[in-house]
Amino acid sequence: MTSPTTSNSAQLVIGLVSVSDRASGGVYEDKGLPALADWLAGALTTPYRIETRLIPDERARIEATLVELVDVVRCHLVLTTGGTGPSRRDVTPEATVAIGTKEMPGFGEQMRQISLQFVPTAILSRQTAVIREIDGHAALVMNLPGQPKAIKETLEGLKDADGKQLVGGIFAAVPYCVDLIGGPYMETNPAVCKAFRPKSALRPAPSTGNNA
């Protein structure tokens, strides 16, 4: 699954990982990867390439997949879905923390705040985020919920009927985080998710090449 590409060597590369025993075993169709890909297609205006993985709830497998996507594929952002609850087979957060070099707990805190607007059981979610850095390359790795509706709400936040932002989504902070770890400059569609950067970190819009 690949978005429109660019020849730029600094092209944004995003890894998407769905963690599910039954979906990876063919018991039912995975919905996490399509939900993530569809949301990104509407939210990002920067050219990017996607790498997808569908794997079972096995900690060693999750760790190996995350390491491969960052160290080998050279993803700048990795989003996982599934495996973040309290059940015995839910080990995505443990695997994520194990491969990280820095923890980014604020992402998980905000995810739970968003989900608590809908269900009290959001406090059972254990989503987290980390930075993994190796050999001069770094990536942001984030755990997301497993349901498509919750994925959208978590990334985008909550808006009223007029489109006014009521609760901020976590993706608004992602582009600047990727800036800070040396990744490509990410731009978003503000109608979906307006990226936030300090004024000093903003870049001018690219020239259209037309002379006045």
In this structure, is residue 144 part of a structural domain?
A: yes
- Give phi and psi for 92, each to the nearest 5: -60, -45
Domain ranges, residue 74? 12-197
pLDDT surpasses 90 at 211: no
Model confidence band, residue 182 (pLDDT cutoffs 50, 70, 90): very high
pLDDT value of position 183: 97
First to last CA, the chain: 39
Task: Report whether pLDDT(113) > 60.
Answer: yes
The single-letter DSSP state of residue 26 is T
* 203, part of any domain: no
Does residue 59 lie in a domain region? yes
Structural domain count, the chain:
1
Q: What is the DSSP string of 166-208?
A: EEE-GGGGHHHHHHHTT-----B-TTT------GGG--PPPP-
pTM for this one? 0.90
Kindly report, residue by residue over 16-43, the tens digit of the pLDDT: 999 998 888 888 889 999 999 999 999 9
Residue 126 maps to which CATH number?
3.40.980.10
Above 50 in pLDDT, residue 127? yes
CB 73, CB 13: distance < 8 Å = yes
The strand pairing partners of 142, in sequence order, are 79, 129
CB 81 within 8 A of CB 142: no
Q: Is residue 211 part of a domain?
A: no
**Residue 43, in any domain of the structure:** yes
